Amino acid sequence: MAAARPICPQLSLPDVMPMPIAFSRHFKSLIAVLALLSIAAPVHAERFACSGRDLIAAMEQEDPARLASLRQAAEAEPNGRGLLWRVSKEGVAPSWLFGTMHMADPRVATLPAPAQAAFDKADTLVIETLDVLDPAKMTALMLERPELTMFTGSETLTDLIPEADRAMVAARLAARGVPLDSLRKTKPWLVAALVALPECELKRKAAGAPVLDLALAEAAKTGGKRLEGLESLTDQLEAMAGLPMDFHIHGLVETARLGDRLDDVIETMIVLYRAQEVGMFWPFFEAVLPDEAEAGEAGYAAFQERMIVARNGTMAERALPILARGNVFMAVGALHLPGRDGVVERLRQAGFTVEAVS
């Protein structure tokens, strides 16, 4: 039986909803981000201090043998190190692929110098979806397809949360200033977003601090670059809504149960991201997140296929004709890059040479 895991804030899904979407080993991407529907004026995001600690640094001191094991597992992950990749093919100007982290933390919300230079020279910017740049379009979709984000029948979230866990989930939401009863018709993967991110990150988003992908889109528009998207908001929401409800409920409960420990997980994710150790994420989750068996193989298999494998394939396939023009800067969530089914490997299979850039 596969272990079910809580939702942990993610790098992979774009900001497609007015709440964040998260991931873990078995919930790799379940949330999009609070207050990211519009690009607000720049704010001093660094003023919102976070309290999480780096668990890798702690492990280095307390359990170096365990850390060595995690690093060994990460080394086995194809394309598990690197954020910036040069994409080339004979007769075509080179393009660039960059892995982003969908958070407003200033440590991950700006491009490293080599990536910035590649972006500045590019004629075209590609991000996961352009729909996030049009709040009116997003609102229209919510009205046209309410079943993607809300319970439209007699079913309620409150009824679906196991009675033994209801008070705990309610308390966690209350700590964020949101009564559980006010969300009784909201799908659980959106509710999980309210407890998944640290308060400091939610404050950044509420203040209008953009994630990197959206900041790049604004810069591209200002600079006259062509702007392309790889997915639609409908694609993403249908994939999320199509996952088993038990899977979503269990993810919400386990996310709430983790409480403030999520701050440590997210801080560690940022540290690993900045070190370009993308292949370390899954081994890290295996080491620090609790094992449960309640979500089962069916939910995990559906999640892996819909939210990881299928989306990687869609992104790579839709990117091919754009990359064929050359001089493209493509920015997608960093966890879409590594692995045998990752975007890097899929582009290679399509005939491109894809090389990590230090």
Specify the higher pLDDT residue, 293 or 227: 227
Specify the higher pLDDT residue, 286 or 248: 248
Q: Tokens for 345, please give them.
A: 């490997």
- Between CA 284 and CA 55 the distance in angstroms is 9
Strands 353-357 and 84-89: antiparallel
- Between CA 97 and CA 342 the distance in angstroms is 12
Distance, C-alpha 67 to centroid of its chain: 24
- Between CA 263 and CA 198 the distance in angstroms is 6
CB neighbour list of residue 349: distance below 8 Å, 6 or more residues apart:
none
SS3 217: helix
Which of 8-17, 53-62, 195-204 shows the lowest mean pLDDT across its residues? 8-17
- Between CA 334 and CA 315 the distance in angstroms is 13
Confidence of residue 330 (pLDDT cuts 50, 70, 90): very high
Summarize pLDDT for 252-283 with one digit per residue, the tens: 998 899 888 889 999 999 999 999 999 998 88
Confidence of residue 11 (pLDDT cuts 50, 70, 90): very low
- DSSP assignments along 152-180, one per residue: -SS--HHHHS-HHHHHHHHHHHHHTT--G
Summarize pLDDT for 95-108 with one digit per residue, the tens: 999 999 988 999 99
Taking a C-beta distance cutoff of 8 angstroms, is the pair 188, 248 a contact?
yes
Range picked from 19-28, 63-72, 238-247 for highest mean pLDDT = 63-72
Q: Name the DSSP letter for residue 275.
A: T
Strands 22-23 and 8-9: antiparallel
Strands 328-333 and 22-23: unpaired
Using alpha carbons only, what angle is made at residue 298 by residues 165 and 303, rounded to the nearest 5 degrees?
A: 85
C-alpha pair distances (Å), 351 with each of 85, 119, 122, 184: 15, 23, 21, 49
In this model, does residue 1 exceed pLDDT 80? no
Range picked from 12-26, 131-145, 162-176 for highest mean pLDDT = 162-176
Predicted TM-score (pTM) above 0.75: yes
Confidence of residue 298 (pLDDT cuts 50, 70, 90): low
Q: Is residue 2 part of a domain?
A: no
* Amino acid present at 158: T
Determine how many CB atoms are found less than 10 A away from the CB of residue 159.
Answer: 11
Q: Is residue 257 part of a domain?
A: yes
In the chain, % of residues over pLDDT 90: 55
Question: Sheet holding 84-89: strands in order across?
Answer: 226-231, 124-129, 328-333, 92-100, 84-89, 353-357
Residues 231/234/235/238 CA torsion (nearest 10 deg): 160
Q: Is residue 103 part of a domain?
A: yes
Taking a C-beta distance cutoff of 8 angstroms, is the pair 225, 124 a contact?
yes
Determine how many CB atoms are found less than 10 A away from the CB of residue 276.
Answer: 18
Which of 176-185, 250-259, 293-302 shows the lowest mean pLDDT across its residues? 293-302
* Amino acid present at 148: L
- Domain assignment of residue 140, given as a range: 8-39+50-357
- Between CA 357 and CA 334 the distance in angstroms is 14
Q: Which helix (H) or strand (E) holds 224?
A: none
Q: Is residue 317 part of a domain?
A: yes
Summarize pLDDT for 38-68 with one digit per residue, the tens: 223 333 444 577 889 999 999 999 999 999 9
Taking a C-beta distance cutoff of 8 angstroms, is the pair 268, 312 a contact?
no
Q: Is residue 172 part of a domain?
A: yes
C-alpha pair distances (Å), 189 with each of 19, 125, 136, 240, 347: 9, 29, 22, 8, 31
Instruction: Work out how many domains the chain is built from and give that number.
Output: 1
